[in-house]
Chains A and B, each alone.
Chain A
Amino acid sequence: MNKTFGGVWIFGDYRDYFQNRITLQLIAKGRELAETLNTGTTVVLLGDQIHQYAMEYVAHGADTVIVADHQNLKEYEVEKYTTLLAQWVKSYQPEIFLAGATSFGREFFPRLAKRLRTGLSADCVDLEVDPESFLLVQTTPAFGGELLAEVVTPDRRPQMATVHPGVFRELPHNAESVGHIIYPEVDVFPEPRVKIVRSKPQRTGKVSLEDASVVIAGGKGLGSKEQFELLYELAELLEGEVGATRPAVLSGWAGEDRLLGQTGKSVNAKLVISIGTSGALQYITGIQGAETVIAINRNPDAPVFRIVDLGLVADAATVLPILLETLRRRL
């Protein structure tokens, strides 16, 4: 391990806090990594009136929170964020720096990596510290998701990665936690080249897929949009949400916001029922965090059966109406 640098840093993305859990998921993983490296977990937090988020991150396992609480940081501006974080990284020298692969992280983290002249692995689905070299092994889909690449950053620091939401589990809230808080001086900001006129959050569905405890996932094997529509009924009976594979989305059976997999969403559901999905790698990365996976597919050799807890070789068009009828009677 390079002793010059220290600490596992996590970028605190608190927008839409109670739906967006990526920072809490990264804190949990960060603690694991930090333990191996014999160091601490730090969340960096920028904004205006953000006291409650600093407290939340400590409650969920952060050892330290570095805070810039300033009215000039009320709105996200990529130049300000990049400049401030670059200063902090150069000053405090973290070993690892992680952010969620959200629209936020995807925009400014590559800029920050460029500013720091270090590498960045995007959309990682796993992170581990190599026990011999103490390097961060960043697992990320490559070649269009056909394989998973393990990437290391042997020379430059920090080792930076964005991580797909939902692949790690957050630690429970502990009100008795006590941490450390640092307030660096942040009086100097770059001259803004962009003026924010107005910001308006995009409307999304009533429940995010990442937070659903039951997910019904449908693929092209369902055969038609009409068959896919039955999944909504099944999801309602099981109080779940509907997700879709890329082919199902491309067929217009579901919106992009329901896409599961490496370019879509990852779920931590207690139960995923995967229907008419072959099990392509890019899709599997989106459901591998589920506690139990059940798959229905008429092809006994479908790759999805390699990762399921219970598999049913059957035609979805036949099974789905029977399943719905049975559940309607029992629930």
Chain B
Amino acid sequence: MIKYRESKISAHHNYLVNDMLTPGFVVGKPNDTEGFYFLADIVLAGESMPRISCRLLAEGPGNLLLELNWNRIQANPEGCIHQSIPGGFQILRTTGDVLLEVQTQAFANGYLTRIKAGLYDENGVLQMEPLGDSISAHDAEKIVLDSPFSSSA
């Protein structure tokens, strides 16, 4: 039997994660009040913007860097900069390094969002890292979303 990987696929919008298309995924625990999480939520037909919510922590001590809710900054103790780029946005640290990049490619009938980031959890363990032109998200395959995680911002 040939080895294979599998996922769900949306006809409308997908994220490219672990070199696979997926309508949405989550890493970490979004419902916890503290700690790292990254949620790439399902984009409904009729919408074109990806829905990114996350709590990003510093590599070493695990201090909060930034919190996003549906692409908008919710908390920003380090003073990161939210910057628009063609097809998406970047989050820059005060050092100028790119913390997170989200870019959406529009096809004739659908959308594909690529994410670039190196993200650590509260224990200093790398949870997401760049993989070619997509992202490798540890354990994301197990947590592909069947329906939108959040119905409102």
Contact = CB atoms under 8 A, between A and B. Distances in A.
A177 interface: yes
B12 to A, nearest CB: 4
A183 B19 contact: yes
A87 to B, nearest CB: 6
B11 A178 contact: yes
B21 A55 contact: yes
Given A52-B107, A55-B21, A59-B110, A180 B11 contact: no
Contacts of B142: none
Nearest to B9: A181
Interface residues on A, range: 20 to 34
Interface stretch (A103-111, A168-176, A220-228, A291-299): A168-176
Interface in B1-25: 1-12, 14, 16, 19-21, 23
Interface of B: 1-12, 14, 16, 19-21, 23, 45-46, 107-110, 112
A91 B4 CA distance: 11
Contacts of B19: 69, 183
Nearest to A177: B11
Given A52-B107, A88-B2, A91-B1, A58 B20 contact: no
Contact of B12 (A55, A87, A184): A55
B4 A179 contact: no
A178 B14 contact: no
A185 B45 contact: no
A interface, over-half SS: mixed
Given A58-B11, A176-B11, A181 B109 contact: no
B5 A183 contact: yes
A181 B8 contact: yes
A177 B109 CA distance: 12
A152 B104 CA distance: 47
B3 A175 contact: no
A242 interface: no
Contacts of B23: 178
Given A91-B1, A175-B45, A183-B19, A56 B6 contact: no
A185 B16 contact: no
A176 B109 CA distance: 12
B12 A175 contact: yes
Given A175-B110, A176-B45, A181-B21, A55 B6 contact: no
Given A175-B12, A181-B7, 7 more contacts: A55-B10, A58-B10, A59-B109, A175-B45, A175-B46, A178-B23, A180-B8
